[in-house]
Amino acid sequence: MAEKLPWLAQHYPELPIIANVAGNTLDDYVSVCQAISTAPNVHAIELNISCPNVAHGGLEFGTDPQSAAQLTAACVAVSQVPVYVKLSPNVTDIRPIAQAVEQAGAAGFSLINTLVGMRIDIRTGEPILANQTGGLSGPAIKPVAVRIIRQVRSISALPIIGMGGVQNATDALELLAAGANAIGVGTANFTDPFACPKMIEQLPIEMTKYGFADLSRFAVTQEVK
């Protein structure tokens, strides 16, 4: 609030920002949402509900429909901008959680967050990360992203920002075909800072390759199952 957002407003005044909010307690989330949603260049909030709820034994907010709904409702109540909820893929069935979040007032979804993974240092036999487990992202999780986006689309017509393993324009089209309305790119930027411009340039070429002139074929149609 004091440094980053004013700097962005000065140097990129037309840039719409989605602020990612996380926390360890409900009060953490509420206080951050209330404050950051007042920034003039923050246009939406992405609520990361994959964090451990320390008040309830460390269980992720995003793995329990009731906890997810309670958190979403509290943040929507204080936010001055739309709240998109970033759902955790580390659940048996994403649909009850998505329904609970929608009923609690979410404006849309970000799908998906990272999968839980672990690496072992063979020399020591111990986990490489101090926390033992961490978030797995990148190309390996794209099939999971496609499945979860399709599942959430089957029970909700809310906007979906699709993400998870998008490396090129073909990947982006696949997530759109699964039911996403927009695409987020994360890990690819770490290996190539020009990943997004390249995807945008590739997109019309890929569309021509598959024989369609626009993205209307991917228009959202809710098919409740």
List, by residue number, the catalytic residues: 51
Distance in angstroms (rounded) separating the CA atoms of residues 45 and 182: 15
Question: And the tokens for 205?
Answer: 């070429």
Question: And the tokens for 89?
Answer: 């893929």
| SS3 category, 118 | coil
Would you call the peptide bond into 36 cis, given omega within 30 degrees of 0 as the criterion? no
Distance in angstroms (rounded) separating the CA atoms of residues 149 and 84: 14
CA 93 to centroid of chain Cα atoms: 17
